[in-house]
């Protein structure tokens, strides 16, 4: 039984509110009494050279070829395929559509095993096509789909496994490939976070039957909006190209398709982003080092470190809040940061199995997801990218050190 003389975390949160306000004046303010005058967002776009971008846009407008597999799209696909070492890259309007096309081209139906600890689009891509998602737990160390749990969930209606390379940290691809091969299942990956990341000496993009990337505005490599499906399967690539353009093959409709084409302006932006690839990685790496340094002095805040040393884009700064050590809840840390214009996010909260479209489905599934539940209550994602500097992170770190120190003294 808890010692009644020891205040709860919630009471300590309230007890330090006034102290926190008084101590705020010891930190350099950015304006209006806040740490930063302007909001510091998670996922502010990594912008390429403006003049280079405008030059490409001008060329697109001069050609008057704005869509339907134009030269920028073709150049972008070739550049992505070469960088990732794959035979095919099929550019699409966004990654959600890319997932839907891949699922349909692979002929999936019935049930597909998918982690709950992911962005809802991963699961929506299945449900939109009448496929029942079977939620699986994640490994608490890697935050990725747990192959041992996957093996337990394979049933007579299972047609595929959809893994997610969360935070750009690769799944255990070998273990998943063994399971898929043993049961005759299709294996594909949501690689929305993982452009530029590598695993076992290979770039992400060549694992499973297909991998799907996001080039949304918030991603490491941005087209403004866009995505791509990569594969080494010639037949699958042909099907994906038909599906993204209404099912057309030549001037005849060969199958049920949809309009999922990337346009020329988005492709032009993607090409410019590719030209700045090294600069983006360098800034992210410097920011990650800065976070590691400042969080070392903040009680109960631990920076997620991928368990392998493969190539990374460092786009995701994920911090675990240990409420008992920090003396403050994750959500209280989030609220305090938002007060200072540091717009950290709870990723992913809650797990997809707790969202309205899937809660009843999960109740029938009755598969415990303890690690998903725990991580969804402990993790925060912090701002990084080209709009954030190590100096900004130093200020954030000082604030967090003050914050955890206040709660330590209030305990």
CATH number, domain of 190, equals 3.40.640.10
Indicate whether 227 pLDDT > 50.
Answer: yes
Residues 284 and 260 in one domain: no
In the predicted model, what is the mean pLDDT of the chain? 92
Helix axes 95-105, 120-127, angle to 10 degrees: 40
Query: What is the mean predicted confidence (pLDDT) over 214-223?
Result: 97
Pick from 206, 220, 212: nearest CA to 96: 212
187 HSE (CA, 13 A, CB side): 23
CB atoms within 10 A of CB 184: 8
Residues 59 and 31 in one domain: no
Residues 188 and 326 in one domain: no
Q: Alpha-carbon distance 20 to 335, whole Å?
A: 12
Query: What is the mean predicted confidence (pLDDT) over 179-192?
Result: 98
Q: Is the peptide bond before 350 cis (omega within 30 degrees of 0)?
A: yes
The answer to whether residue 100 sits within a structural domain is: yes
The answer to whether residue 400 sits within a structural domain is: yes
Indicate whether 260 pLDDT > 90.
Answer: yes
What is the percent of the chain where pLDDT is above 90? 88
Q: Are 242 and 249 in contact (CB under 8 A)?
A: yes
Indicate the pLDDT class of residue 19, thresholds 50, 70 and 90: very low
What is the bridge-based pairing of β-strands 227-231 and 88-92? antiparallel
Domain assignment of residue 149, given as a range: 50-274
Residues 205 and 82 in one domain: yes
Domain boundary among 244, 274, 304: 274
Residues 251 and 282 in one domain: no
The answer to whether residue 80 sits within a structural domain is: yes
Domain boundary among 249, 274, 299: 274
Q: Alpha-carbon distance 17 to 13, whole Å?
A: 7
Q: Alpha-carbon distance 48 to 111, whole Å?
A: 41
The answer to whether residue 351 sits within a structural domain is: no
Those residues with Cβ within 8 angstroms of residue 360's Cβ, 6 or more apart along the chain or in another chain: none
Residues 125 and 262 in one domain: yes
In this predicted structure, what is the pLDDT of residue 7? 47
Residues 156 and 174 in one domain: yes
Residues 171 and 222 in one domain: yes
Indicate whether 397 pLDDT > 90.
Answer: yes
Pick from 165, 244, 166, 157: nearest CA to 208: 165
- Point out which residues pair with 301 in neighbouring strands: 321
Query: What is the mean predicted confidence (pLDDT) over 193-215?
Result: 97
Query: What is the mean predicted confidence (pLDDT) over 288-315?
Result: 92
Residues 144 and 242 in one domain: yes
Task: Summarize pLDDT for 67-98 with one digit per residue, the tens.
Answer: 999 999 999 999 999 999 999 999 999 999 99
In this predicted structure, what is the pLDDT of residue 17? 52
The answer to whether residue 368 sits within a structural domain is: no
Cα torsion through 116, 260, 73, 252, rounded to 10: 140
Those residues with Cβ within 8 angstroms of residue 309's Cβ, 6 or more apart along the chain or in another chain: none
Indicate whether 15 pLDDT > 50.
Answer: no
Those residues with Cβ within 8 angstroms of residue 271's Cβ, 6 or more apart along the chain or in another chain: 56, 72, 75, 76, 79
What is the percent of the chain where pLDDT is above 70? 91
Residues 400 and 282 in one domain: yes
Domain boundary among 247, 274, 301: 274
As a three-state string, the secondary structure of the chain is CCCCCCCCHHHHHHHCHHHHHHHHCCCCCCECCECCCCCEECCCCCCCCHHHHHHHHHHHHHHCCCCCCCHHHHHHHHHHHHHHCCCEEEEECCHHHHHHHHHHHCCCCCEEEEECCCCHHHHHHHHCCCCEEEEECECCCCCCECHHHHHHHCCCCEEEEEEECHHHCCCCHHHHHHHHHHHCCEEEEECCCCCCCEECCEECCCCCCEEEEECCCCCCCCCCCCEEEEECCHHHHHHHHHHCECCEECCEECCCCCECECCHHHHHHHHHHHHCHHHHHHHHHHHHHHHHHHHCCCCCEEECCCCCCCCCCCCCEEEEECHHHHCCCHHHHHHHHHHCCEECECCCCCCHHHCCCCHHHHHHHCCCCHHHHHHHHHEEEECCCCCCCHHHHHHHHHHHHHHHHHHHHHC
Cα torsion through 48, 164, 114, 241, rounded to 10: 50
Give the CATH number of the domain where residue 335 resides: 3.90.1150.10
Q: Alpha-carbon distance 363 to 352, whole Å?
A: 12
Residues 251 and 304 in one domain: no
Count the domains in the chain: 2
The answer to whether residue 350 sits within a structural domain is: no
The answer to whether residue 388 sits within a structural domain is: yes
Q: Are 321 and 330 in contact (CB under 8 A)?
A: yes
In this predicted structure, what is the pLDDT of residue 309? 61
Residues 142 and 80 in one domain: yes
The answer to whether residue 349 sits within a structural domain is: no
For the chain, what's the residue count? 411
pTM of the model: 0.92
Query: What is the mean predicted confidence (pLDDT) over 186-207?
Result: 97
In this predicted structure, what is the pLDDT of residue 32? 63
């Amino acid at each position: 039984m808890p010692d009644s003389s020891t205040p709860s975390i919630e009471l300590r949160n309230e007890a330090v509110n006034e102290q926190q306000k008084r101590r705020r004046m010891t930190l350099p303010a950015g304006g209006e009494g806040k740490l930063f005058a302007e909001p510091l967002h998670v996922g502010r776009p990594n912008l390429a050279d403006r003049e280079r971008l405008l030059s490409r846009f001008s060329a697109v407008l001069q050609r008057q070829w704005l869509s339907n597999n134009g030269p920028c799209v073709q150049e972008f696909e070739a550049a992505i395929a070469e960088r990732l070492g794959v035979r095919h890259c099929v550019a699409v309007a966004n990654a959600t559509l890319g997932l839907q096309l891949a699922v349909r081209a692979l002929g999936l139906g019935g049930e597909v095993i998918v982690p709950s600890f992911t962005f809802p689009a991963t699961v929506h891509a299945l449900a939109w096509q009448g496929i029942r998602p079977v939620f699986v737990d994640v490994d608490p160390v890697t935050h990725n789909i747990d192959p041992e749990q996957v093996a337990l969930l394979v049933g007579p209606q299972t047609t595929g496994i959809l893994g997610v390379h969360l935070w750009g940290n690769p799944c255990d691809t070998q273990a998943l490939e063994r399971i898929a091969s043993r049961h005759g299942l299709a294996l594909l990956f949501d690689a929305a976070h993982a452009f530029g990341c590598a695993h076992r000496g290979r770039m992400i993009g060549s694992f499973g039957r297909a991998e799907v990337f996001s080039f949304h505005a918030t991603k490491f490599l941005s087209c403004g909006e866009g995505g791509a499906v990569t594969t080494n399967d010639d037949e699958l690539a042909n099907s994906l190209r038909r599906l993204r353009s209404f099912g057309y093959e030549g001037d005849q409709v060969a199958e049920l398709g949809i309009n999922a084409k990337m346009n020329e302006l988005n492709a032009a932006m993607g090409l410019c982003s590719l030209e700045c690839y090294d600069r983006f990685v360098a800034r992210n790496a410097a920011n990650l080092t800065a976070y590691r340094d400042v969080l070392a002095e903040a009680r109960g805040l631990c920076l997620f470190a991928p368990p392998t040393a493969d190539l990374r884009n460092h786009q995701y700064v994920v911090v675990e809040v240990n409420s008992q050590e920090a003396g403050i809840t994750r959500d209280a840390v989030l609220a305090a940061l938002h007060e200072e214009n540091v717009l950290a996010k709870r990723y992913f909260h809650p797990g997809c199995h707790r969202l309205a479209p899937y809660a009843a489905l999960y109740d029938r599934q009755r598969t415990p997801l303890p690690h998903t539940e725990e991580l969804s209550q402990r993790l925060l994602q912090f701002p990084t990218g080209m709009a954030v500097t190590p100096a900004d992170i130093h200020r954030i770190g000082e604030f967090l050190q003050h914050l955890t120190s206040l709660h330590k003294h209030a305990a």
